Amino acid sequence: MNAMAESAYALLQARAARIATLGEASAMLGWDSSAMMPPGGAASRGDQIAVLYGLMHELGTAPEVADWLDRAEAAPPEGAWDRANLALMRRGHTRATAVDASLVEATARANSACEKVWREARALSDFAMVADSLAEVVRLARENAAALSARLGMSPYDALMDGYQHGITASDVAPVFAQYETFLERALPRALELQAARPAPLKPTGPFAVATQEELCRRLSAAAGLDYDHARLDRSVHPFCGGTRTDVRITTRYDEADFAQALMGVMHETGHALYERGLPEAWARQPVGEAAGMGVHESQSLIIEMQACRSDAYLTWLAPILRQSFGNDPAFVPANLGALWRRVSRGFIRVDADEMTYPAHVILRFRLEQALISGDLAVADLPGAWNDGMQALLGITPPNDAKGCLQDIHWYDGAFGYFPSYTLGAMGAAQLMGAARRELPGLDGELALGNLGALTGWLRPRIHNKGSLLGYNDLLLAATGKTLDPTDFQNHLVSRYLAG
């Protein structure tokens, strides 16, 4: 790398760090708006976030950046990490310059405003209340998608997906989802039949004090490896993980009648947080130091929540802790907890769904958001289309909008193209767990002690520390010996739900 190219690359690194720092500030404002901000702050908060997005866009698309990229690429750096970083800078610049700054700010404002209306509409189960706001969000999403599509040479929906998991398109996902839908048609009735033949699991008797739940959630997430010198646990309408690598914010919601919702939600978000905490420190605030995409992120949350924390081994450790926290309820024995928390049902709510039916919820959203972006589905027709889709996939129809198309925050916050990542993550988690078990024959013994360190220690060098050096399939190939293989997930489900 000659001196001129080296200088240009150094300037790009400095600019990337500045943009990333503004992104961190925006992330903290976003967390605050969901967890702490009073309702009256919504309008000004939308302006604050919009201005930050505008500044980030201006910095990333300034004329000098294109010149720096050209100069740096003329004599690329020698190291693999630097080369990947430069390539990601080019990709980010291409995406950023495809969209005008005015559209970026307008989108941020519309998303923020719609999200606030959604909160009230969801509480009242009234889609009509948020329909106009969502229509504006969808209109702007289409504008963004069209601009990105023209620049990237891919379909508008693929251009949106590319922003969440690079290298995976709708044509990659559609056959995987179709294959799973076929599997589910056979597997779900059989799982329900086997389940019905067994005694119904005992349900723990509440109420379960929120303060006790919160203390337990904090204890379990800390035991999983979350360092609370660099993390917080708070409450929000929709559980999420946000903040920054050194200041991770996770949230959950509590139900005094059912502590499992909060507990497993926190372990899910802890998986996200552990990934963020494990990203390569040497590449902080550089594109290559960021997470490798939302499919990868979901694989890290689901390997903790679904693969580890719902395993027989982990429940052996957890059962006595539940008795300590909530009393000597006969439901708190490992076998009963397994039957209770690995119970299959045809439910309305995605975040409460079991791992067999969960992909059906994602398949529905994948199809609907493609139709919204293409214009084949009008926003006003969303509730009906949602209900029809749920009936076709799971044989149930939501009784109201809160249990239907209002249940998720994503579309109301402008996140189109995100949903496929959930099921890509579930499939990746099963594939990674299979590889971890093969390489760590004592893994179940560690989980029976409540020790997730062996698992996270296996993930750290293979996934977390890699940042965005590799794409999803290359990460899986390096860690497991093959690219994404959906049959690993199906085999996991057969073993867990269809054996016996």
Is 404:383 a contact under the CB 8 Å cutoff?
yes
Q: How many CA atoms lie within 13 A of 284 on its CB side?
A: 11
Phi, psi of 280 (to 5 degrees): -65, 115
What token pair was written down for 176?
């995987």
Residue 267 region, left (φ>0) first, then alpha (ψ -120 to 50), else beta? alpha
Which pairs with CB-CB distance under 8 Å and at least 24 residues apart come from 62-70?
A: 64/11, 65/12, 65/15, 65/93, 66/93, 66/97, 67/8, 68/8, 68/9, 68/11, 68/12, 68/15, 69/8, 69/12, 69/93
d(CA 486, CA 426): 9
Q: Are 246 and 294 in contact (CB under 8 A)?
A: no
Q: Please give the Cα distance from 168 to 294 (Å, whole number).
A: 11
Long-range contacts of 351-355 (CB under 8 A, 24+ apart): 351/238, 351/239, 351/265, 351/407, 352/261, 355/306, 355/426, 355/493
Q: Which residues pair with 234 in a beta bridge?
A: 251
Instruction: Enumerate the active-site residues.
Output: 269
CA angle 458, 278, 450 (to 5 degrees): 55
Single-letter amino acid, residue 113: A
Secondary structure (3-state) at 273? helix
Q: What is the C-alpha to C-alpha distance for residues 114 and 411, in angstroms, rounded to an integer? A: 9
CB atoms within 10 A of CB 199: 7
Please give the Cα distance from 457 to 478 (Å, whole number). Answer: 16
CA distances from 191 to 352, 356, 363, 491, 494 (A): 18, 9, 20, 14, 9
Burial profile 127-147: b = 16 or more Cβ within 10 angstroms, e = fewer = bebbbebbbbbbebbbbbbeb
Phi then psi dihedrals of residue 250, to 5 deg: -115, 150
